Amino acid sequence: MYIKILGAGAGGGLPQWNCGCRNCTAARQGQIAPMTQSCVAVSPDKRNWVLLNASPDIRTQLQATPALHPIGLRDSPLRAVIVTNGDVDHIAGLLTLREKSPFTLFATSATHQTIAANTVFGVLDPALVTRQPITLDTAFAPLPGLSVTAYAVPGKVPLYAEDASYDHPRPPQLGEETIALRIAGEKSVLHYIPGCAAVPDWLCDRLREADLLLFDGTVWADDDMQTSRTGQKTGARMGHMAMSGPQGSVARLSLLTCRRVFTHINNTNPVLMPGAPQRAELRSAGWELAHDGMEIAL
């Protein structure tokens, strides 16, 4: 199984267009490598590829990845897209993929309904783009040689789909709105979880089989945005758990022995700054940070 990190950033990427925080300024000055928004490509053979989410930056990401360039006059090695939730940074790129090339769009019924409710996604020609519903905890094969099983993880509906009740704290939901992907190749297993609000014991147990874990790295601490003075929303309010702290992902997943990589990293996360103590702490705990262009073979 071959994995390419097309985009390692959370919504807005790095630098975010309207942000002058320390990290975004450093990225503009060349001190930190820029990141496009969250997207991963997976292949069993380096010829046929599946996208995990469709970033708003997908055109730039495809151009930067020769393995995903056209293989004919109007032919692409992209065979399928699997969407893990309805967040803008995971579905907006579908609009770029409207150019009359066939692929299968896999999503839960809830996410398909979210996409169908916005008529702009009607630009995806139904004669070419098959919308295939995912049944949780049931394996499907987006390509020969890959078996994918989606399962619910704690999360929430997209920000734009919230109602007034979200002004009050509520526990993470478990349903079709936020899913993880277990992707099995011939000899290895990848778990891809770009959004997660908590790691209960059952999830720790489920991840023990993984050879590689790509996990939600949005925030270092719940108050990253408040600390950086870029906003008032906490990580929990956005449906993302912190890396740090006794209930953070580093501590909760400390017993895993697989390769562990944080992705979907927000532009305000202090781990992005070279030399930051938080970055050293991650390394000592056995974690890596994803970056655009990162390649992994399992």
Provide CATH code, domain 2-158+169-297: 3.60.15.10
Which amino acid, 153? V
Question: What's the pLDDT at 158?
Answer: 84
Question: What's the pLDDT at 168?
Answer: 61
Q: CA-to-CA distance for 124 and 128, rounded, in angstroms?
A: 8
The number of CA neighbours under 13 Å toward the Cβ of 12 is: 17
Q: pTM for the complete prediction? A: 0.96
Contact 131, 112 (CB under 8 A): yes
Q: CA-to-CA distance for 52 and 289, rounded, in angstroms?
A: 18
Question: What's the pLDDT at 167?
Answer: 66
Tokens standing for residue 119: 């008529």
Quick: pLDDT tens for 37-58: 999 999 999 999 999 999 999 9
pLDDT at 162 over 80: no
DSSP state of 70: -
> What are φ and ψ of residue 180, in 5° steps?
-105, 160
DSSP state of 68: G
Rg of the chain over Cα atoms, rounded to whole angstroms, equals 18
